[in-house]
Amino acid sequence: MRKPKIVILGAGYGGLMVATRLQKSLGVNEADLVLVNKNDYHYETTWLHEASAGTLSPDRVRYDIRDVIDKNKVDFIQDSVVEIKTSEKMVILENGEVSYDYLVVALGGESETFGIQGLKEHAFTISNVNSARQIREHIELQFATYHNETVKRDERLTIVVGGAGFTGIEFLGELTNRIPELCKEFDVDFHKVRIICVEAAPMVLPGFDPELVSYATSQLEKKGVEFRIGTAIKEATPEGIIVGKGEEEVEEIKAGTVVWAAGVRGNSVIEKSGIEAMRGRVKVDPNLRVPGHEDLFVIGDSSLVINEEINRPYPPTAQIAMQQGELVAKNITALVRQQEHLDTFHFDNKGTVCSLGEDDAIGVVFGKKVTGSKASFMKKMVDNRALFMIGGVGLTLKKGKFKFF
Ligand code: FAD
Ligand code: NAD
């Protein structure tokens, strides 16, 4: 009998979880496993704010995919996915194509710009290793250029962060650590630098615990961050941004750097492939399959799972992507073995920890609130856990965070 071919698209948290679990659960004679990813490395998306601010080197946030897959069991293809042809059970890649019996789409998310004018051209996003490198280099360039202009432009030293969600806040935390270093390195007066966070909602970290939000806001303000709450970015220009409070109050903020951290959507490959989605995210069935497609699973940022308690989608996180990956590996193993029972997905929320820089954080872990160095320690533990879940002790020792205080 022909072995079924299982193809996994994306080697992020979700995809690598599926690949590493399947290489353990299935024998070489049971199935062919194929993993496709555009780079030959995996990056820790959850550490990209550090690489973007320049507090961690881009190399620290990534590792070779071949270090965690069993080469005898998984055929790794480095290529970019262009389209999925579900009726032909075929994936079109930039440099070829691959057929499948079971497909797992784990391509992650993309930045959502909500059609705001100028953002794509004039703002950076914290999306991958290359975009992180670009932000870091761009900020350094602003500092390096400052003293070399005949007419000094202080706005060159203004950094605007769009969105005070978890990404925006974590990036601000890193910036507050990095800016004093840059000031020293480039002989720039610290008081000339402005870090402005613009948030459309009436509060920072909308929906999160107000006591923890107040802690985070005051810690960041103490380090120089200015918050513009209830203020939306309306446009990005070569000079900075246009913001608005309500319909009438419009203001220009001149800035040398604008980082847009105000939302994610599913991968554009989903919509390009004609798969029904909301903002690129597929509302999957309880087994994490696309409704009407028994051979097609979607996990991670490109999937949408409803939290029945509040009737709203779970936020896209690495935590949920990894749990989905574990479940999909189990379900595919069952399908390959022609077992009838498939498991249904239930998210086990272990909590949220949001870093505020090197030694500070806020979080709710197993229902308990934590702040300061204790929360920061927990954040590093969470980061190390993701490495351990995918690459075991070896990867954790090689890439983990062990500088706690
Ligand atoms: P990803 O991990 O993003 O992986 C997608 C993979 O697909 C990548 O390897 C990419 O290169 C590849 N890919 C994309 N398109 C293509 C293509 N066309 N062809 C081939 N390959 C492709 N979540 C938490 O739970 N905790 C946190 O602390 C946390 N911190 C975060 C901090 C930041 C700065 C950001 C931006 C996000 C954070 N998140 C956090 C959210 C979390 O990172 C995402 O939810 C998670 O990465 C989603 O996992 P995924 O497997 O869906 O996709
Ligand atoms: P988000 O959608 O959670 O937050 C985006 C923020 O931008 C919101 O507060 C929104 O009100 C604001 N916004 C939207 N449009 C705006 C505009 N025009 N002007 C100004 N502000 C605007 O996005 P995110 O922070 O990138 O997070 C994405 C996902 O990743 C979330 O699910 C989050 O939970 C997860 N994440 C988790 C962690 C963590 O657990 N530590 C860290 C980072 C990201």
| pLDDT tens readout for residues 372-390 | 999 999 999 999 999 999 9
User: Mean pLDDT throughout 318-345?
Assistant: 97
Question: Does ligand 1 lie within 6 Å of residue 164's CB atom?
Answer: no
Which pLDDT does position 1 carry in this prediction?
Answer: 72
Would you say how long the chain is, in residues?
A: 405
> Which residue from 119, 128, 166 has its CB within 8 A of the most atoms of ligand 2, so it is best to mutate?
166
In 145-213, the DSSP E strands lie at 158-162, 194-199
Pocket test for ligand 2, best of 304, 317, 371, 382 (most atoms within 8 A of CB): 317
Residue 147: closest CA among 195, 120, 183, 121: 183
Q: What is the pLDDT of residues 249-263, one digit of tens each?
A: 799 999 999 999 998
Residue 18: nearest ligand to its CA?
A: 1
CB proximity list for 281: less than 8 A, separation 6 or greater: 265, 266, 270, 301, 302, 303, 304, 313, 316
| pLDDT single digits (tens) 327-338 | 999 999 999 999
Whether residue 116 contacts residue 234, with contact meaning beta carbons closer than 8 Å, is answered with yes
Mean predicted confidence (pLDDT) in 234-249? 90
Contact 239, 122 (CB under 8 A): no
- Over the stretch 25-52, which tens digit does the pLDDT of each residue have? 999 999 999 999 999 999 999 999 999 9
Bridge partners for 194 per DSSP: 158
- Kindly give the distance from the C-alpha atom of residue 275 to the centroid of ligand 2, in angstroms, as a whole number: 25
Average pLDDT of span 272-293: 97
pLDDT of residue 381: 94
Dihedral-angle region of residue 404 (phi above 0 means left; psi in -120 to 50 means alpha; beta otherwise)? alpha
Would you place residue 246 in the very low, low, confident or very high pLDDT band (cuts 50, 70, 90)?
confident
Cα of 335 vs centre of ligand 2, distance in Å, is 36
Comparing CA positions, the residue from 391, 358, 359, 354 lying closest to residue 374 is: 359
What architecture does CATH give domain 113-262+350-405? 3-Layer(bba) Sandwich (3.50)
Which one of 167, 199, 212, 362 would you pick to mutate in the ligand 2 pocket, going by the greatest count of ligand atoms within 8 A of its CB?
Answer: 167
**Which atom of ligand 2 is closest in space to residue 205's alpha carbon?**
9
**3-class DSSP state for residue 31?**
coil
One-letter identity of residue 230: G
List the structure tokens of 194: 């402005």
The closest of 292, 289, 236 to 262, measured between CA atoms, is: 236
The band of 405, judged by pLDDT with boundaries at 50, 70 and 90, is low
Distance 284 CA to ligand 2 centre (A): 22
Q: Is the dihedral of CA 83, 84, 88, 93 positive or negative?
A: positive
Domains 5-38+79-111+265-349 and 113-262+350-405 share a fold: yes
The pair of structure tokens assigned to 378 is: 């927990």
Q: Whose CA is nearest to atom 12 of ligand 1?
A: 10
The answer, yes or no, to whether residue 404 has pLDDT greater than 70, is: no
In this structure, which topology does domain 5-38+79-111+265-349 adopt according to CATH?
FAD/NAD(P)-binding domain (3.50.50)
Give the residue, by CA position, lying nearest to ligand 1 atom 45: 317
What does the alpha-carbon distance between residue 27 and residue 282 come to, in Å, rounded to a whole number? 31
Name the residue type at position 295. Answer: D
Q: Looking at the predicted structure, is the pLDDT value of residue 323 above 60? A: yes
Domain coordinates of the chain in residue numbers?
A: 5-38+79-111+265-349, 113-262+350-405
Tell me how far apart the alpha carbons of residues 44 and 390 are, in angstroms, rounded to a whole number: 11
Confidence of residue 403 (pLDDT cuts 50, 70, 90): confident
Looking at every residue in the chain, the average pLDDT score rounds to: 96
Distance in angstroms (rounded) separating the CA atoms of residues 375 and 372: 5
The mean pLDDT value for 80-93 works out to 98
Mean pLDDT value of segment 186-192: 97
Q: Which atom of ligand 1 is nearest to the CA of 42?
A: 9
Instruction: Using the atom order of ligand 1, give the atom closest to the CA of residue 14.
Output: 51
Q: Is the CB of 280 under 6 A from ligand 1?
A: no
Measured CA to CA, the distance from residue 294 to residue 373 in angstroms comes to 47
Helix (H/G/I), strand (E/B), else coil: 253: strand
Q: How far is the CA of 263 from the centre of ligand 2 (A)?
A: 5
Q: Which residues contact 83 (CB under 8 A, 6 or more apart)?
A: 91, 92, 269, 272, 273
Four-residue CA torsion sign, 261, 12, 313, 87: positive
* Atom in ligand 1 nearest the alpha carbon of residue 36: 20
Instruction: Write b or e for each residue in 368-398: b if 16 or more Cβ atoms lie within 10 A of its Cβ, otherwise e.
Output: eebbeeebbbbbbebbbebbebbbeeebbee
Q: Ligand nearest 324 Cα, by number?
A: 1
Report CA(152)–ligand 1 centroid distance (Å): 39
Q: Looking at this predicted complex, what is its ipTM?
A: 0.99
pTM over 0.80: yes
pLDDT level of residue 225 (50, 70, 90 thresholds):
very high
Would you put residue 19 in left (φ > 0), alpha (ψ -120 to 50) or beta?
alpha
Cα distance between residue 262 and residue 90, in whole Å: 34
Cα(235) to centroid(ligand 1), Å: 26
Could you tell me how far CA 333 lies from the centroid of its own chain?
28
- Distances, alpha carbon 49 to alpha carbons 18, 328, 395, in Å: 25, 29, 21
* Residues above pLDDT 90, as percent of the chain: 96
| Phi, psi dihedrals of residue 105, rounded to the nearest 5° | -95, 115
The answer, yes or no, to whether any atom of ligand 1 lies below 6 A from the CB of 168, is: no
| DSSP bridge pairs for 303 | 282
pLDDT of residue 89: 98
pLDDT at 271 > cutoff 70: yes
pLDDT at 297 over 90: yes
pLDDT cut 70: percent of the chain above it: 100
**pLDDT at 157 > cutoff 90:** yes
Q: Average the pLDDT over 83-93 and give the result.
A: 98
Please identify every residue annotated as catalytic. 170
CA distance 325 to 334: 14
